[in-house]
Amino acid sequence: MESSYSIDASANLIRLKVWGELTAESLMELLNQARADPEYVPGMHTIADYREAYGNWDYSEIQRFRDYLVHIAVPCEVRWAAIFKPGNLAAAGHVLILISEAVGSDIKLRMFEEPAAALRWVRGEDRPEASMSYEFLNGRVEVRTGDITGLKVDAVVNAANSSLLGGGGVDGAIHRRGGQEILRACQELRETCYPRGLPAGEAVLTTAGNLPARYVIHTVGPVWGRDQQPDTLLASCYKKSIALAANHALGSVAFPAISTGAYGYPKDEAAAIASTAISEALSQADAIERVSLVFFSDADLDVFLANQQF
């Protein structure tokens, strides 16, 4: 039997079935095949079944695969479940090493002995549903952790790239869950209004497709170290998104943390800019009743709370 992969786009999941001798090169080759598949989207979770695999890795192989994991990491948590059978110490041993070595990336690895538990974990069913939230500006602003794609609000803001055609992180999650209707709307915008892409600091409105929200507001944040006047551009993302929502009589808007992932904007500086921009925008947008700032992790939330200027 040869090792193989399958992609379940609806579940945001890659499944790997690994047979025979397992090396760093063979596993990277299998993953590259999956990443080249048209259904692959950056940020997909993975279940790797090693129960029929064997092999011992030397340090160079461990290091090579660790570097590969960090290279393919996207700015959101990706879960990798490794399934092994009791006694399969060779496969289990090197995976345990990878768990300890894959530092600095957002890839989380865990080992399981049966597939059902692995599936529950990659789906995030182990996460507590309750989330602590904080309010500012007399309740007009809510700050919390959570999954922005699951919020039933008038508009969710997408931290898009200039192509408007999807990407990693929040952008990929919104396109995956929202479906092809969002992509078609973005393609139409590219063909009619933005043939060269949406500029940084601008915002546009589309359908939300299959999301619980009514609309998606796409805005492009600045790339830290590349774009000039990044503070002005970042503030513009928040101000123009809120103004756009107000112009369409939308009462509730949810934002992710714009530009602080792959675009590298320092999270402490972004917190001060975002909170100031939101305060200024809301002072001129009475129609907006609620702005939610939704962070992926408690650590990101803590940084924001420590540096916000509401």
Contact 163, 190 (CB under 8 A): yes
Dihedral (CA of 113, 119, 121, 122) sign: positive
The span from the CA of 217 to the CA of 207, in Å, is 9
Give me the DSSP letters along the chain. ---EEEEEGGGTEEEEEEEEE--HHHHHHHHHHHHTSTT--TT-EEEEEEEEEE----HHHHHHHHHHHHHH--SS-EEEEEE--TT-HHHHHHHHHHHHH-TTSSEEEEEESSHHHHHHHHTTTTS-S---EEEETTTTEEEEES-GGG--SSEEEEEE-TT-S--SHHHHHHHHHH-HHHHHHHHHHHHHT-TT-PPTT-EEEEE-TTSSSSEEEEEEPPPTTTSSSHHHHHHHHHHHHHHHHHHTT--EEEE--TTSSTT---HHHHHHHHHHHHHHHHTT-TT--EEEEEESSHHHHHHHHHH---
Active-site option among 171, 227, 231, 286: 171
Q: Is 171 a catalytic residue?
A: yes
Beta strand pairing call for 155-160 and 252-255 = parallel
User: Closest by alpha carbon to 240, among 214, 203, 193?
Assistant: 203
With tokens 């993953």, the residue in question is 31
Q: What are the residue numbers of the active site?
A: 171
